[in-house]
Structure 1
Amino acid sequence: MDVSEGAVSIEVPEASGGGEGAASGVFFNPDQELNRDITVAVLRAFGDREERAERYFDATAASGIRGVRAAAEGWDVTMADVDADAVSLARDNLDRNDLEGEVLLQDANAVLHDVDRVFDVVDVDPFGSPVPFADAAFANTRDLVCVTATDTAPLCGAHFESGVRRYSAVPRNTEDHAEMGLRVLLSTLARTAARYDVGVRPVLSHVTDHYVRTYLELDHRATDADAALDELGNVHHCPECLYREWEYGLLEGERQGCPHCGGDNVVTAGPVWLGPAHDADFVRDVREHLSEEMGRFDRARDTLETIADELHVPFHYNQHKLYKRWGESAIAMDDFLAVLRDAGHEASRTHFGGTRFKTEADVGEIREAVLAAN
C-alpha cells in the first residue's frame, strides 16, 4: 500500500495502523500523521535556530516514514530497528524518494552508545513507553530529544501500579488526566537526564488522541540539570470541590484536607513537572514552518496556536464540570474567559479540549468571578 505524507511517498504493509493484523509485520500508524507533520515543522524551526544541527536519529524506524520525511528536509538521517523487515522497508522507502540515509539493524540503545556516532536530534517514538530508550538518548544527544509515549493509561494513573513502576512517580487519574500524563512523563525524562548532568527545557509539548509528545532542548551542565530538577514538585487535587494547588520540591508536603471545602479526600500526584511545558516563541515559530502540503496542516496550525497562548500553570480545569458542580448552565468559553480576566485573573484555553481552561485563580476565586458577573 502506497502512502503519501508531506513531500514523500512510502510503501507500508496493508495491515498497518489500527485495523486487524496491525500487530503483525512492520507497524505504520496513519493516525500519527499530525505528530509527524509537527515533527517536520519542529525540525525546520530548530534547524534555522541551530544551524550546526544536522544529524537526526530515528530510534525506532518501522516503515521509515519519520526518517524519510526528515531526510527530505535535508537532515543527515540515521534510522534503527531490530526487525529485519522494517530495516529493509525503511531502506526501500529512502530509495523510492531518491534520498540518502543509513538504516541499521540494531537496537537503538546500542547505536546511541556507539562512541563514533554523534547525533544532534534524537527521536524516540516507540510503541508504548519511551523509558527503555531514555537513558541512552539523554546521555548521547547534543541538542534536542523528541519523545512520544503511547502508554497513556499508566501515565495518567488509570493503570496506577504500572505507572508507578514505569515512571517512578505517583500518577492520579483526575479529570485533567491528559495533562497529568504529560507532566509525569516530563518529570521522568528530567530526572533521567539529570543522571547525566543534562538539563532539559521543553520547547513544545502536546497531548493528542492517545499519545503524549514532547520536544526537549538540552543543556549539558550539572547546574542545568539542577535547574530542571527545581521544576519538579507535587499537585494536590480535591475530587469533591475540584480544588487544585501545587508545591515545588521532591518531598511531598503534608495535606490536612482541602483548604477550600474541608474535604479529606485530597489526592497527591508527583513528582511531576511544574515548569513550562512549551516555549511560546518557539511554538509560534514552529507554526510558521508548517506547510499546506501537510495532511494535518489545519489541525496542526490550530493546535500550535492554542498551545502558544496557554498559561504556564501545571494543571487545567474543565469548565463544564465546574458548572455542573455549581448546578448551573455553562456559558460560552470565550465569555467565561472574559469574566475571569475582567476579575483580574489570567486565563487561557488549552489544547487538551474545548471545555478546558487554565487560570492562576483557585476554584473559590473562579466561582466568585462568575457570581459577580451574573
Structure 2
Amino acid sequence: MLIRSIVRNLAAQPVRYMQAQAMAAKTEPIGQLKDFKEIKEGKATILIENSNNVFYNNVQEFNRDITIAAITEFAKEALVKKNIKAVEFQENDKNIVTIDDSATPMRKVYPGKPCEEGITILEALSASGLRSVRLAKEVPGVKQIVANDISKSAVEAIERNITHNGVSDIVTANEDDATLYMHKCKRGRENQFDVIDLDPYGTATPFLDSAVQAVRPQGLLCVTCTDMAVLCGNNPDSCYAKYRSIPLKTKACHEMALRILLGCIEQHANRYSRYIEPLLSVSVDFYIRVFVKVHYGPAKAKFSTSKQAYVIRCGSCSSFHLQPVSNIIKTAKGGEKHVPGIGPSVGKNCDVCGHKNSIGGPIWAAPLYNQTFLDKVLYSVTAFPNRLTTSSRIKGMITMMKEELQDVPLHYVSDELSSILKMSCPRDVELKSGIVNAGYRVSSFHGRTSSVKTDAPPSVIWDLMKALWQKQNLNLEKHQVGSAARAILTRSSTTENIDFRKRDEAEAASKKAGITRFPTMPDNWGPKARAKDNSDDEETSNNILKERSKKFQGKRKAKSDHNTDKRPKIAGEDQR
C-alpha cells in the first residue's frame, strides 16, 4: 500500500519535477536544475524549490542536530528494556570496535534501518521533510516516521525527498491538519506515537492540547517556539492569551520564556491526568526548544501546582521574588496535601529601592533539565564528534546546563544591574566571587552572557553592586533624588561579609576548559521568511502582491515626509 501511495503522489507531481527526475536519470546533477536546489545536511540530501513554496531555514541545523542527539538517547532507553542496543554508528563503520561482555549479548540496531520493535515518530509540521529524513538516516531503532503537513506543495516536497533519500521503508508522508491528525491518533496506544515533534513558525500553543494526548505515556514531546517578542514581554496580553502567563520585560527574559512554555505544556497535560518531566530545555538564537517526557498519573498530576510560581519583580531595580501557587504539607496520617501558597512574599513596593513591584507568571519553577539525560547526550556527542555538524556547540550548551543551579529559577544580568547604577560592568568572576564569599551559590544561565543565577537574596546582590560602584569612585549626584539607583546607593548595607577575592568555584569549569559557550553567529543569521501561500494559481498570487504594492506605493514615503516636516504653516502658502 505504501508503494501505491508513493506512485500515486509521484504521478501528481508538477511537470517540472517529472522533468527533473528524467534529467537526473541521465546523470545530470540535481543541484544544477533550474527549479530546484540541492541541500545537504547531515546524512540527508533534499531538493528545495527556488520559489520558496516550502519553508527551509539552514540556521536551524543546530535545532535539528540537538533533536537527533536527544531522540537517539530516548530510543536507546526505550529499546534497552527490550534487550536491544541502539548504537549511533553505522554497521559497516570500520573505525568502531565494540566489545559486549554482558552475560546475555544484546541485539544491535543501527541508523538507517527499520526496527520492528523500535520507536514511532510524528513530525507534525514537516515542511520539506528534512528533519524526518535525517531522523530516519541518523537515529537508530526507529520503526516508523510520519512526516505531516497541511500544505499540498509541502507534502509533494516530502514525497520527493523521501524518494530521493531512499527512506520510504521508514518515512511516510501525510497531508492533514496537524491538530486534527493528532486528535485522530490519541485513542488507543497502537495509534499514539513514542515521539512527537512540533517545530512551527511562531507559537506551538495551538498544537499542544492534541499533542499531549497523541503521545504515548513515557513518550517524548519536542516543542519549539519562535515568537520570542511575545514570550519576552513586548505583548503581555498576547502572551497570556496564548500561554496563560504574563511575561515580565527583563534581560533575563529568555529563561522566563522557557519556563512559561513548560508551564503551558504542563497545564495542557494536566487536563488529561498527565504531567511532564523536562529532560532538556534550551534557549538559543531566536527561539526556545524543550524536550519533555509526558507521564500518565492522576495522583502525580495533582502536584502540578507546587511546580508553578508567580514572579514578583521590581520594574526599577530588577529585584525579584517567587510566590509558589501552592505548597505541599504533611497530614497527621503521614500523607500529603496541597494548600494555597502563603503570601505575598513581599510587599507592594520593592524592599531594596522602594519602587513598585510587578507580578508575572505563573511560570514553571521546577528544574529545566534531567541531569542523567544531559550526561547521556553529552557522552554521545563527545564520543562521536563527527556525527553532527554542530557537535561542539551542543557540547558547550549541555556542559553549561549541567553547571546551572537546578533549584534556582530565573537569574540576574550583570550589565543590566550596572546600567541601573550607571557604572562599568564588573568582571563576571569578580561579582560571582563576592556572592560565593558571602555564603551563597552562583552559576550562569546557558542562554545569556553576563548571567548571574544565585540563591542570594536581592539585598545581597545590591550590597555587592554598591561596593563595586564605590570602588569605581563615581559621583552620587549623577543620580536623581527618588531614583532606584539613589535609593540603593544611600541605603545601609546589611551584608556583613563583602569580599571580592577570587574563588575558583565562581568561574565556570566550561570556561576554564575553553569549551565553546557563546559562538559568533554567521552572516545572514536569524529567522527566515514564512513560506509563500500555497495557491493553485501562482500567477494569481503574484498579481495580488503586485496590486497590493501598487496600492501602497508612495504612501509610506508621503507619511514619513509629513511627520518630518516641522515648519509652521504660513497663511496663504500653497499646501500640497
Alignment counterpart, residue 277 of structure 1, candidates 368, 379, 383: 368
Counting only pairs closer than 5 Å after superposition, residues 240-319 of structure 1 correspond to structure 2 as 240-249=316-325, 253-254=343-344, 256-290=347-381, 291-312=385-406, 313-319=408-414
Q: In structure 2, how many angstroms separate the alpha carbons of the residues matched to 1:187 and 1:305? A: 24
Q: In structure 1, how many angstroms separate the alpha carbons of the residues matched to 2:158 and 2:380? A: 26
Q: Could you say which residue in structure 2 is the equivalent of 1:61?
A: 126
Task: Please report how far the alpha carbon of residue 237 of structure 1 lies from its aligned counterpart in structure 2 after TM superposition.
Answer: 0.8
Alignment counterpart, residue 48 of structure 2, candidates 4, 12, 28: 12
Report the RMSD for the aligned CA atoms in angstroms.
Answer: 2.0
Q: In structure 2, how many angstroms separate the alpha carbons of the residues matched to 1:220 and 1:330? A: 47
Residue 360 of structure 1 aligns with an amino acid whose one-letter code is D
Q: Could you say which residue in structure 1 is the equivalent of 2:177?
A: 107
Task: Please report how far the alpha carbon of residue 259 of structure 1 lies from its aligned counterpart in structure 2 after TM superposition.
Answer: 4.5
Residue pair 2:221, 2:293 contacting (<8 A) in 1 also? yes
Residue 165 of structure 1 aligns with an amino acid whose one-letter code is A
Unaligned runs of 5+ in 2: 1-36, 83-117, 327-339, 468-497, 501-576
Task: Please report how far the alpha carbon of residue 240 of structure 1 lies from its aligned counterpart in structure 2 after TM superposition.
Answer: 1.9
Q: Could you say which residue in structure 2 is the equivalent of 1:236?
A: 312
Residue 66 of structure 1 aligns with an amino acid whose one-letter code is R
Q: In structure 2, how many angstroms separate the alpha carbons of the residues matched to 1:340 and 1:166? A: 37
Alignment counterpart, residue 127 of structure 1, candidates 178, 185, 201: 201
The answer on 1:146 being equivalent to 2:225 is: no
Structure 1: 4+ residue segments shifted above 6 A: none
Query: Which secondary structure does the structure 2 equivalent of 1:207 belong to?
Result: strand
Q: Deviations along 1:82-113, whole A, 9 cap, x unmatched?
A: 11111121122122222131110111222222
Change (3 A) 1:93 1:334: farther
Alignment counterpart, residue 333 of structure 1, candidates 396, 407, 428: 428
Alignment counterpart, residue 373 of structure 1, candidates 499, 507, 510: 499
Task: Please report how far the alpha carbon of residue 344 of structure 1 lies from its aligned counterpart in structure 2 after TM superposition.
Answer: 1.9
Q: Could you say which residue in structure 2 is the equivalent of 1:344?
A: 439
Q: In structure 2, how many angstroms separate the alpha carbons of the residues matched to 1:26 and 1:315? A: 37
Q: In structure 1, how many angstroms separate the alpha carbons of the residues matched to 2:67 and 2:51? A: 24
Residue 373 of structure 1 aligns with an amino acid whose one-letter code is D
Task: Please report how far the alpha carbon of residue 288 of structure 1 lies from its aligned counterpart in structure 2 after TM superposition.
Answer: 2.5
Q: In structure 1, how many angstroms separate the alpha carbons of the residues matched to 2:463 and 2:249? A: 27
The answer on 1:90 being equivalent to 2:126 is: no
Q: Could you say which residue in structure 2 is the equivalent of 1:21?
A: none
Alignment counterpart, residue 30 of structure 1, candidates 34, 55, 58: 58
Bigger CA drift: 264-273 or 119-128? 264-273
Q: Could you say which residue in structure 2 is the equivalent of 1:22?
A: none
Task: Please report how far the alpha carbon of residue 287 of structure 1 lies from its aligned counterpart in structure 2 after TM superposition.
Answer: 2.3
Task: Please report how far the alpha carbon of residue 40 of structure 1 lies from its aligned counterpart in structure 2 after TM superposition.
Answer: 0.4
Task: Please report how far the alpha carbon of residue 330 of structure 1 lies from its aligned counterpart in structure 2 after TM superposition.
Answer: 3.0
TM-score, normalised by the number of residues in structure 2: 0.61
Counting only pairs closer than 5 Å after superposition, residues 166-177 of structure 1 correspond to structure 2 as 166-177=242-253
The answer on 1:203 being equivalent to 2:241 is: no
Q: Deviations along 1:306-364, whole A, 9 cap, x unmatched?
A: 11211122211101222333454333323432332232211111112211121111222
Task: Please report how far the alpha carbon of residue 164 of structure 1 lies from its aligned counterpart in structure 2 after TM superposition.
Answer: 1.5
TM-score, normalised by the number of residues in structure 1: 0.92
Query: Which secondary structure does the structure 1 equivalent of 2:256 belong to?
Result: helix
Q: Deviations along 1:36-87, whole A, 9 cap, x unmatched?
A: 1100000111111222661111000100111111111142211110111111
Residue pair 1:199, 1:220 contacting (<8 A) in 2 also? yes
Query: Which secondary structure does the structure 2 equivalent of 1:70 belong to?
Result: helix
Q: In structure 2, how many angstroms separate the alpha carbons of the residues matched to 1:228 and 1:125? A: 25
Q: In structure 2, how many angstroms separate the alpha carbons of the residues matched to 1:365 and 1:5? A: 49
Q: Deviations along 1:201-253, whole A, 9 cap, x unmatched?
A: 11110111211110111110112322233201101111222211102106785
Change (3 A) 1:326 1:264: closer
Residue pair 1:187, 1:271 contacting (<8 A) in 2 also? yes
Q: Could you say which residue in structure 2 is the equivalent of 1:39?
A: 67
Q: Could you say which residue in structure 2 is the equivalent of 1:358?
A: 453
Aligned residues: 366
Unaligned runs of 5+ in 1: 17-24
Which structure has more relative contact order (CA 8 Å, sep 6+)? It is 1
Residue pair 1:201, 1:228 contacting (<8 A) in 2 also? no
Q: In structure 2, how many angstroms separate the alpha carbons of the residues matched to 1:343 and 1:15? A: 60
Query: Which secondary structure does the structure 2 equivalent of 1:117 belong to?
Result: coil
Q: Could you say which residue in structure 1 is the equivalent of 2:38?
A: 2
Residue pair 2:444, 2:451 contacting (<8 A) in 1 also? yes
Residue pair 1:7, 1:293 contacting (<8 A) in 2 also? no
